[in-house]
Amino acid sequence: MRTIHHWINGAPVSGSDLIDVTNPATDQPIATVPMADTDTVTAALAAASDAFDDWSQTTLSRRAQVLFRFRDLLVENRSELAALITQEHGKTLDDAAGEISRAADSVELACGGPALVRGGTSLQTGPDIDTKSVLHPLGVCVGITPFNFPAMMGMMMVSVALASGNTFIWKPSEQDPGVCIRIAELFKEAGLPDGVLNVVHGRQDTVERLIDDPRTEAVAFVGSSQVAQIVYSRAAAAGKRVQAFGGAKNHMIVMPDADLDVVADQLTSACFGAAGQRCMAISVAVVVGESAEPLLAKLATRAEEVRLGPGDGDDTEVGPVVNRQSQERIQAAVKEAIAGGARAVVDRSAEVVPGFESGYFVGPTVLTDVEVSSAAYQEELFGPILVVLRVDSLGDGLELIRSHRYGNGASIFTRDGAAANEFERRASAGMIGVNVAIPVPVAAYAVQGWKDSAYGDTGLNNASWSFYTRPKYVTSRWDSVAGTDFGFRPN
């Protein structure tokens, strides 16, 4: 059993109230992690607060150099970090390595801090008056992240926050916290001064203490919409700057002219990959016209062939879901949908993996004839369950997307440019894919949901420079008022 510690002021800190971290493929505890008490939270806040003055005065290029070195360490240690993620989360090693690459993308963006953290100046905004804007860091920022991307979501917050001159307290998910501590160690190795990045483990009470403390200036959250709403309201009520990203139910529209083999391949990986536990997973396919039956046949073949197993298995394509409650919740949702009249084209939801009988496995499942009012369509199941709906027109498909409470991502598969254009303009979601099933933008753009998928108005990555800085506007006049005439008279 490993012991996972808090990370405060550049060093591991042990704690009490230990809970088990479990390998989802085996149901065996593999580590313990402490839940922070008041003293631990206070120590992290004090460390981050004390470190702020020096870090905010550190030059932009020096901050960027630390991030450059950290980015290299992230890539050099990708296999080790991926193995940690796989053990605690359950996703395949390839998928976990992909997560580290996406985390590095966020760090690479932040290495551009010297070019990106800047205001602007206008000359002669009045007689002899110039006006400029400058960007100040905020102070102590807090980030609360979900289990499904234990490294990447943190890096989407920490990178820009640190490049902007803030200090940070990261509260990762208690379900897979190991990789976060390894990341904090790598930051230290890269030269990050002690106290600039701290990691505390915990649950609701830890988050509440972090939000409420007057030293906390800003709160970033990613997780379920239910908790996002709570965090958003609490932080806003305390006068904090807050961005909170929530759940999703991402639709893919399949137009009549789409290549069904391509669509079936893309849906197989976009819905079943990472056991459906991606915030940008496609969980609803909306087939326009008559292609539903041929597409279902192709999906059935592929869903049956997906290899379920432990994330570190040689030929595993889909690992387990994160915990027993998720497994049981998803299995119950499938049963309820079928009892409510849905047709299971493939139902591997209760499949047991030989040799891993206690693992939290849920196999790929394809449901059709699902009622739009049912929980299987309305709720985020966060498992490898694909709902296939039929509509008569693109307009009907767009109306489904508009009516849904979530608006994280949406995609269309078509060869018709006009249909793609109409979809791009009208789909009510923050991240749109055209012949791309999981359209997570690169870090140079942003991660941003609409509706109940995000509360607050700034996205992650390149949209978060304004979140992590506050502008100051300076209006100045020297010549006429100060009498500083240096006698320069151009001809």
Query: So which residues are the catalytic ones?
Result: 279
* CA dihedral of 481, 482, 486, 491, whole degrees rounded to 10: -20
CB of 134 to ligand NAD, least distance (A): 30
- Calpha distance 319→307 (Å, rounded): 9
Q: Which residue is nearest to ligand NAD (CB)?
A: 223
Closer residue to ligand NAD in complex, CB, 25/447: 447
Closer residue to ligand NAD in complex, CB, 41/420: 41
Closer residue to ligand NAD in complex, CB, 309/449: 449
Closer residue to ligand NAD in complex, CB, 71/249: 249
CB of 31 to ligand NAD, least distance (A): 16
Closer residue to ligand NAD in complex, CB, 317/380: 380
CB of 280 to ligand NAD, least distance (A): 7
CB of 219 to ligand NAD, least distance (A): 10
SS3 389: strand
Determine how β-strand 18-23 pairs with β-strand 28-34.
antiparallel
Closer residue to ligand NAD in complex, CB, 177/397: 177
Torsion sign, CA atoms 446, 449, 454, 455: positive
Which of 311, 222, 323 is closest to 274 using CA atoms?
Answer: 311
- Label residues 123-160 b or e (16+ Cβ within 10 Å = b): eeeeeebeeeeebebbbbbbbbbbbbbbbbbbbbbbbb
Closer residue to ligand NAD in complex, CB, 144/282: 144
Q: Which residues bind ligand NAD (CB under 6 A)?
A: 144-149, 153, 171, 173-174, 203-204, 207, 222-224, 227, 230-231, 245-248, 279, 380, 382, 408, 447, 449, 453
DSSP 226-282: HHHHHHHHHHHHTT-EEEEE----EEEEE-TTS-HHHHHHHHHHHHHGGGG--TT-E
Which parts of 384-428 fold into alpha helices (H)? 394-403, 417-426
| Greatest distance between any 2 Cα atoms in the chain | 89
Which of 285, 170, 232, 275 is closest to 453 using CA atoms?
Answer: 232
Q: Judge whether 153 and 167 are in contact, CB under 8 Å.
A: no
CB of 353 to ligand NAD, least distance (A): 23
* Residue 387, token pair as written in the block: 């709902």
CB of 10 to ligand NAD, least distance (A): 22
Neighbours of 317 (CB within 10 A): 18
Closer residue to ligand NAD in complex, CB, 108/174: 174
SS3 485: coil
Torsion sign, CA atoms 290, 291, 292, 293: positive
DSSP 224: -
Q: Judge whether 318 and 308 are in contact, CB under 8 Å.
A: yes
* Residue 424, token pair as written in the block: 């791009």
CB of 209 to ligand NAD, least distance (A): 10
SS3 content of the chain, % helix, strand, coil (to 5): 40, 25, 35
Determine how β-strand 2-3 pairs with β-strand 28-34.
parallel
CB of 130 to ligand NAD, least distance (A): 40
